[in-house]
Structure 1
Amino acid sequence: MFPGGQPDMARLLEQAQQMQQQLAAAQEQLAQEEVTGTAGGNLVSVTMTGQGEVTAVTIAPAAVDPDDVESLQDLIVAAFRDASRAVNELTASRMGPLAGGLGGGLGLPGL
Structure 2
Amino acid sequence: MNPGDVNLQQLLEQAQLMQQQLASAQQELNDAQVEGSAGGGMVTAVVNGARELLELKIDPSAIDADDPQETAETIADMVIAAIRDAYRAADELQQEKLGPLAQGLGGGFGQLPGF
Alignment of 1:20-99 (within 5 A): 20-65=19-64, 66-68=68-70, 69-99=72-102
1:1-43 CA deviation, whole Å, 9 max, x = no partner? x952111111111100100000000000111110000001000
Identity, in percent, stands at 47
- SS of residue paired to 2:3: helix
- SS of residue paired to 2:35: strand
Aligned to 1:13: 12
CA distance in 1, matches of 2:52, 2:27: 13
TM-score, length-scaled by structure 1? 0.91
CA distance in 2, matches of 1:18, 1:96: 16
Aligned to 2:112: 108
User: Aligned AA for 2:30?
Assistant: A
Shift of 1:109: 5.8
Matched pairs, number? 110
Larger Rg: 2
Gaps of 5+ in 2: none
CA distance in 1, matches of 2:43, 2:74: 11
TM-score, length-scaled by structure 2? 0.88
User: Aligned AA for 1:94?
Assistant: K
Gaps of 5+ in 1: none
